[in-house]
Chain A
Amino acid sequence: MIKDQSILQAIALTLAQAIILLAVSPAIVGLIKKVKARFQCRQGAGILQPYVDLKKLFRKQPVVSTTTSWIFTATPYIVFASTVTAGLLVPIFVSQMPLNFAGNIIAFVYLLALGTFFLILAGLDAGSPFGGMGSSREAIVASLTEPAMIMAIFAIALTAGSTNLSTIVHRTALLEGIVTDPSPHLMALAAVFIVALAETGRVPVDNPATHLELTMIHEAMVLEYSGRYLALLEWASAIKLLVFLTLIANVFAPWGIATSFTPMALSIGLAVYLVKVAGLALLIGTIECMFAKLRLFRITDLLGVAFILALLGLLFFYILRS
C-alpha cells in the first residue's frame, strides 16, 4: 500500500512499470513473429523489427478520411491511454505495487473495455464496410470474453482473499492461503489463457497477419489508420498483449517476483519477469503455427468452454474448501 512507501518511490515504481510496458512490448511481438517464421522455415525479420516499424510509422504523414469526425483522431490516444492505465494495475516485477489501491480486476477489465469501445466507434467512423465488419465482430468477441475473464479471476481471487491484482500476486508469491489441490487454479488458468488469445486478437480467434475481409477482426477496425495514429494503435495492441501475458505469468506463477524493495530482489524480479513473458510469447507463437483460425461462429464454442472452465474452477474451490 501507498502509506508504506515514500511518494517518490511510488512514482519511480509506477514510471518504471510504464517504461517496461512501453519498451518491452514491441520485442514480444517481434519474438512471436520470429517464432512463426522459424516454424514456416523462414529466417524472418529480427526481433527488434517492430521498433523500426513504429519509428517509421511515427514519421510518416497520416492520411485521414474526409468522412471521419474527431472520434477517429482521438481514438488512438484513448486506446493508448486506457491500455497503459490498465497495464499499470497489473504488477510486473514488484508484487507490491503503489497503484494497487487505484483499481481491482473489474477496473482492469473495464479500462480495456473503454479502449474497445472507442476502437469499435473508430471502425465505424470511416464509413467503410471493412471497418464496420471489424467493429461488429470485435463486439461479439468482447461480449463473450468478459464474463469468462471475470469469473476466472474471481476463482483465483477467492484463494487470495482479494480482487486487487497486486494483493493476489503478493499473497500467492508468499504462498499465503494456497489450497493444496491446484485444480481451481488450473481451470482458471486455462480460461484466462483462452480469454487472452481472444482479447489480444491471436489465432485461433483472430489472425493479426491477415488482411482478408473474411477473417480479420482487429485489423479491419484499424484499416483506415496510417502514420502516427497507426503507430499508437499498434503500440497499444502490443502493450495489451504484454499486459495479458504479464497477467497470466504473475497471477498464476508469481514466484520470482520481487516481494521486497531491495535492489537484489528488484533485479531478480525483472529478469524472471522477462524470461516468463518470453516463454509465454514462444508458446503463443507455437500455438499460432499449430492451429488454424476458427470460423467466426465457432469462436463462441471456444469462449463458452472458457466460461465453463472458470465456473468449474469456482465450484471446485468451494467444494475443496468445505
Chain B
Amino acid sequence: MRELELLIIGSGPAGLCAAISAASSGAKVLILERSFQPGGQLIKQTHMFFGSERQYASHRGVDIADILLRRAAEFGDRIELMLNATAVGFYEDNVVTVLKDEKEYFKIKAKSIICATGAFEKSLAFPNNDLPGIYGAGAVQTLMNVYGVRPGNRVLMVGAGNIGVIVSYQLMQAGIQVAAVLDAAPRIGAYLVHASKLARMGVPILCSHTIKEAIGTDCLEAAVVCRVDQRFRPIPGTERRFDVDVMCVSVGLSPLNELLAMRGAAMRYVPQLSGTVPLRTVDCETSIPGIYVAGDASGIEEASSAMAEGYLAGLCAAAGLGHVPEDYGARRQEYLGQLEDLRSGPVGDRIRAGMKLSAL
C-alpha cells in the first residue's frame, strides 16, 4: 500500500489551489482526479469570472485551469497528478481506496487529506423528465464546450441561476436558439449582469414559472410550462407550450462529499449551503484532525471562493504536517481576507448564514 503525506481528492479549482499552496510550503502532494483531464468544471467555463484579480477575475475559467496547472507543474514531483482515478472509499485509518482506469483497484494511505470533490447537479421531478433531450445544464455545457457537440436546435432552460443563464448564453454563442429561461422563484437568482446579456438578445426570462410536463414519444418534442403562485403551486389556465428539442434543468447543485461522511466526519444538512456538508473550522479542517474540505464539497459557492478555500486548506494541511512557511500567518490572513471579501456583499448573505451553521 502506497503511503504519502498529503492526498487531495479532486483537481478542480479548490483541489489545484490546495495542491499549489501545500507544495509551496514544502509538502509532497498526490492529486486524484476521476476524469481523464484535470481542472474540474473550469475546463468548460468559457465565460469571464467575477471576483478580484487575486482570483483571476475577468479571465475565462478554461484559461484559469491552464494557469493553475502551469503553476502546479512548477513544483515538479512535489505535485503528482493521477488521472482516471476515482476515490471510492475512505476509511478510519486514512486509507482511501482508488479505482484507476476502471480496472486497477488499490489503497492509498495519507497523513492528511483534502476533500475537494465538488458538487453534482440537482434534478427536478415532472412527467416525462426521462425523455432523451432533457439534460442537466452542466451536462450540456460539457457536451458543447469540452466535446464540441451540439445538443439540439432549440432549448428551454429551467432555472435562472448563474449556471442557467450562463449556459443559455453559451448555447446562443454556439448558434442554438434559447426559447426561454424560467424559474419558479419570484426573482432571478443569477447575477443580473449575466441575465441582462440574455434579455438584450431577446430571450424571455420567466420568473414564477415552472415546468409542468415534457412531451414527446422517442425524444423531447415540446414542454409545457405554467405560472406558480407565491407558494409555488401551479396556477391552472396559465399553461404555455414551447416546441423545443432540448430542455436543460438547472435547479442548483448539491455538495458531493459522501467520502467524508464515510470517514465519519461530522455532517449537517445546511440549506444555505445547498445540502449536507461537513462541519469545519475557519481553516477548512473537518471534525477529524488532518482531514480538510475545500470548494463546493463544503457548500455551494462560486469558483472564486473555491480557489481561496483551496489555498487556505492547502496551507493549513501542510502546516499540520510540519511544513510551516515563514509567512504562514500572513498567507493565512490573506486567504481568510479574500474569503471575507467574496462573501461580504448581499449575495454572500446566504453563504455567511450557512457558514455559521457548519462552523466548528
| A-B complex is real | no
Identify the A interface with B (CB < 8 A).
none
Identify the B interface with A (CB < 8 A).
none
